[in-house]
Amino acid sequence: MSITDTAVVAGYTVGDGLLLAAALFVTLAVLMLYRAILGPTNQDRVLAVNVLGTNTVVILALLGAALGESWFLDIALVYALLNFLMSIAISKFTVERGGVI
């Protein structure tokens, strides 16, 4: 039994609230995917991909807290590092091509 299962308010546990928050972040990620695909400029696409990566980290952290599984947080940390490295690589690539994104 995890700590998120002990507090019950109106029939719902804290874990249920965290799962609901994760579902809302998934909805926001789907909307951001639309911006990443159909963004009018490259800046919009780069920013949307970065936000998608950040949303993924938040979703993994919420799932880890809701389900009481610590390995979700390990994956979230690795994914956050990869997301950071990806944004640095895209920035370096676009600056070397002669423009600022």
Q: What is the pLDDT of residues 10-66, one digit of tens each?
A: 778 888 899 999 999 999 999 999 888 988 888 888 888 999 999 999 999 999 999
The pTM of the full predicted model, rounded to 2 decimals, is: 0.81
Task: Establish if 26 belongs to a structural domain.
Answer: yes
The SS3 assignment for 13 reads strand
Q: How confident is residue 101, by pLDDT bands cut at 50, 70 and 90?
A: low
Domain count, the chain: 1
Task: Establish if 37 belongs to a structural domain.
Answer: yes
The amino acid at residue 20 is L
Task: Establish if 71 belongs to a structural domain.
Answer: yes
Task: Establish if 101 belongs to a structural domain.
Answer: no
Task: Establish if 82 belongs to a structural domain.
Answer: yes
CA proximity to 14, closest of 23, 27, 3: 3
Residue-number span of the structural domain to which 41 is assigned? 3-96
